[in-house]
Copies of this chain bind each other. A is one copy, B any other.
Amino acid sequence: MSLSLNQWTTRRWSVAESVDGCVRHELAAVGLWREKVAEQGLAETVKLVRQAGLRVSSLCRGGFLTAGGLPGEEGRRAFARALDDNRRAIDEAAELAAACLVMVVGGLPGVRPGEPLPASGGSREPATEGSREPATDGFAPGSPGFSRDLAGARERVAEALGVLAPYAGERGVRLALEPLHPVYCPDRAVLSTLGQALDLCLAYPPEQVGVVVDTFHVWWDPRLPDDLARARGRIAAYQVCDYLHPLPADVLLGRGMMGDGVIDFGPITRAVAGAGYTGDVEVEIFNADVWAADPDQVVATMKARYAALVPAA
């Protein structure tokens, strides 16, 4: 395994700056984000990583496949849009020769990251807004603005995978299903455990569909050792960062530099290695302080912490 910089860790850097940074810090791989690739231009990005001799350890990200769970025409259109966008992401991953396309599958239909539930979500005056007393009058079960059908949302993901996996396979791209910490189940990923992601994989060839193991998302899972053992041949990416305590108010930014949180990386890395994974290890940190720091300093810290805490041996 060798260290890779996921470019969201040094979010201020463009693709060109990230590529330069990897070369300067003697890293052999970079994880790219579609937004940044679009800013740089896809062809230019391909040229830059090729000239630098870097591997693209992943392209982030496809997914958000669950909107099809909204009723009627709105749902059908949203599902078609999601499939189109994912086909474009697969095409980009193919151009970049990325080791995989990371798939964040999406949350409950109509629930938006960080935003309050649609006002029609079962209560005209959600108790979370302001200090009003909970409403008894006017409460109507049902939720035209979003869906609480978690099982249905999970079925939409399986359905979309049935369309996208063959498309990816034809282009030599591996989809990497990323289970996210259950705290993100409402708004970002109804895929919540490694075991659930593996179960989804098994209908497809390993070179078409694998999983992402991200320490932040899986560290707490009592089934992790067993599920990593059965992930042999299916781990498409290994991402590391720490889990901060307490989490910041925006839980999306609770990812910390290794050593600053509660995760013991050794046992997880050993189990990932034990499952036969020999690819790159991306450090992917969403964290306001890390983003505010000098990116070169962040990469230096990342290398030192990685060496001290992450390797299996």
Interface residues of A (CB under 8 A from B): 108, 111, 114-117, 121-123, 126-128, 130-136, 139, 141, 146, 148-151, 154, 181-183, 185-187, 192-193, 195-196, 219-223, 243-249, 251, 256-257, 259-264, 267, 287, 289-290, 292-294, 297-298, 300-301, 304-305, 308-309
A173 to B293, CA, bound (A): 55
Shortest Cβ distance from residue A160 to the other chain B in the assembled complex, whole angstroms: 17
A300 to chain B: which residues have CB within 8 Å?
Answer: 136
* A-B residue pairs, 4 tightest by C-beta: A249-B249, A148-B264, A185-B220, A133-B293
User: A122, B267: Cβ atoms under 8 Å?
Assistant: no
User: Given that A127-B290, A149-B264, A150-B220 are contacting pairs, would A111 and B245 also be in contact in the complex, using a CB cutoff of 8 Å?
Assistant: yes
A148 to chain B: which residues have CB within 8 Å?
Answer: 262-264
A264 to chain B: which residues have CB within 8 Å?
Answer: 148-150
A contacts with B: majority SS: loop
- Specify which of B151, B261, B267, B289 is in contact with A134 (CB 8 Å cutoff): B289
A114 to chain B: which residues have CB within 8 Å?
Answer: 246
User: B308, A186: Cβ atoms under 8 Å?
Assistant: no
Closest to A136 in B: B301
Most buried by B among A135, A187, A245, A308: A245
A128 to B256, CA, bound (A): 8
A243 to B55, CA, bound (A): 41
